[in-house]
Amino acid sequence: MARSNFLVFVFFTLGCAWSAHADLVWAPGQGWRIEGGVLAGSVQENSGDALNLMNDARNAEERSDNSKAIKLYESAVKKFPNSIYAAESLYRIGLLREKRREYYKAFDAFQELILRYPNSEKFSQVIGSQFRVASGLLEGKRAYAWGVIPGLRNRDRAIEYFEKIVANAPFSDYAPLSLMNIARGHQRAGATEEAIDALDRMINSYPGNVLTPDAYLKLAQTHSSLVDGPYYDQGSTKLAITYYEDYLIQFPGDAGAGNAEDGRIAMKQMLAQSKMIIADYYYKYRRNYKAAKVFYNEAITTFPDSPVAARARIMLADVDARLEGQNPPAVPAEPKAPVQKPKKRFWLF
């Protein structure tokens, strides 16, 4: 009895292995046929019922009767879930749903195929189809109900789909592309922190990808967009400088190097100006010259060749004279900072 069970197990295992290499091919006038697997079909498949159902579905599809074709393919999935036809049926359902602009149902069909039949020969094609659907929604395509009634644009759904693609195929070429699109979608929606998270995942998960330089630059630019001015907290300024410099060090010949250098200079100027504001505060209102000296020095260190640093050196001479009890040199008037529209941020003082 034990030997008999063992032989059944071996036979079943070999059958699964051979059938895994089988492929389902459609030929006009001939119908579907299985190629490349000695035990490609189960008993249900060999009975012909599944094959007849699949041929009817594809013939309906060829006549552009997509609604009937979808129903027949769905019936094949339900009646023959363990057959080679089930995965192909889900793939055809997804393509037909997409053709009818039923994008949500199309993505769901592709997702069901991936979850139920992860070893399908069409895995890469399915991921590509999911990416195509998500990209269309991100660009503003409307999903239709019953293929007739257009719905609202839903870019949040696109972001959700891109996240599923990353989870489905983290080692595919579509994963880094999806993360970049996730960041783009969040930025478009004004969700800057979520965009930063997606870009950060991109550069950490795929450091050698061709898109990584662009991710570094966008990450720096996104942090720059959070900077409100020299009077506000400079955490984002420092992060922007870090990513600009990382980008310039790692990708010196990249096409965006010029923009990165301009961004780095602007952020260092901003940070140096912030140090000057703090230093001037201690100098003018607190008469704390030791503290003022610390921040004037930091302004010089932050951006030594800037106009801000030049003024900081003059102020340092004044501070040193005061600390030594001497008559300070004439101090130039503080240049007026450009007027900026205030934003809801925490003030330094």
In whole angstroms, give the CA distance from residue 298 to residue 304. Answer: 9
Where in 226-331 does DSSP place strands (E)? none
pLDDT at 31: 87
In whole angstroms, give the CA distance from residue 173 to residue 208. Answer: 12
pLDDT at 35: 78
Could you tell me the sign of the dihedral formed by the alpha carbons of 17, 18, 20, 21, in that order? positive
Paired tokens of 234: 């400079």
Residues of the chain with CATH 1.25.40.10: 102-209
pLDDT at 4: 42
The amino acid at residue 109 is A
Residue 227 DSSP symbol: -
Paired tokens of 15: 């059958």
Task: Name the residue among 124, 112, 105 with its Cα closest to residue 86.
Answer: 112
Helix (H) or strand (E) holding 31: strand 31-35
Name residue 149's beta-bridge partners: 145
List of residues 6+ apart from 182 with CB closer than 8 A: 159, 162, 163, 166, 194, 195, 198
In whole angstroms, give the CA distance from residue 312 to residue 291. Answer: 13
Instruction: Please give the average pLDDT of every successive group of 10 residues along the chain, which has 349 residues.
Output: 41 39 79 69 57 95 96 96 94 98 98 96 96 98 93 96 98 97 96 97 97 97 95 96 97 95 97 96 94 96 95 94 77 56 44
pLDDT at 246: 96
pLDDT one-digit tens code per residue, 301-348: 999 999 999 999 999 999 999 988 876 666 666 665 554 554 544 433
Helix (H) or strand (E) holding 116: helix 103-116
Give the distance from CA 337 to its chain's centroid.
37
CATH 1.25.40.10 describes domain 102-209: yes
Task: Name the residue among 125, 122, 115 with its Cα closest to residue 24.
Answer: 122
**Tokens 């299985």 identify what position?**
34
Give the distance from CA 223 to its chain's centroid.
16
Phi, psi of 144, rounded to the nearest 5 degrees: -100, 145
Cβ distance 143 to 154 under 8 Å? yes
pLDDT one-digit tens code per residue, 207-242: 999 999 999 999 999 999 999 999 999 999 999 999
Cβ distance 91 to 106 under 8 Å? no
Cβ distance 202 to 176 under 8 Å? yes
List of residues 6+ apart from 270 with CB closer than 8 A: 227, 229, 230, 234, 237
pLDDT at 324: 87
pLDDT at 349: 31
Phi, psi of 15, rounded to the nearest 5 degrees: -60, -40
In whole angstroms, give the CA distance from residue 124 to residue 105. Answer: 19
pLDDT at 37: 57
pLDDT at 1: 43
In whole angstroms, give the CA distance from residue 112 to residue 90. Answer: 8
The amino acid at residue 270 is M
Paired tokens of 181: 């699109």
